[in-house]
Amino acid sequence: MKSPFLVTALLFGEMVHYSLSFAAFVFNALPAEIVAPLIRRAFPHFYLFVLVSSAVAAAIAFAFAFDPVSGAILIAIAITTIPALQVLMSAINNAADPSSKTRSKVLHSLSM
């Protein structure tokens, strides 16, 4: 595989699937008291997938495709995923209490 396109397509497809399909389905199919813990358990796996797949695609872009622009964009995605996973996700979870709805919405928007 000498092109990062396949891994990038996998990354994009999973991001769209998770956001538009999985999360929407879970929020519509399950009661709110079950959804929040489920989503909180699923997000670290999602962020890890984004981190690994964007780093792999960046490595392919730099090493085999000689495409520094794509590699730089993919590395930026991988790097920005780290604070989202380590900092932003914890802040969103801490702001999930009903009294801080505005803060939770702002942090959630930032994560997207």
pLDDT in tens, the chain (112 residues): 557 888 999 999 998 998 888 888 988 999 988 988 888 888 889 999 999 999 999 999 998 888 899 999 999 999 999 998 888 777 777 766 665 667 666 655 656 5
Cα-Cα-Cα-Cα dihedral of 20, 13, 83, 28, to 10°?
A: 20
pLDDT at 69: 92
Query: pTM for this one?
Result: 0.77
CA 110 to chain centre: 12
Domain residues for 70? 5-111
Q: Per the structure, how many domains does the chain have?
A: 1
For position 106, what pLDDT does the model report?
66
Q: Which pLDDT value is given to residue 108? A: 58
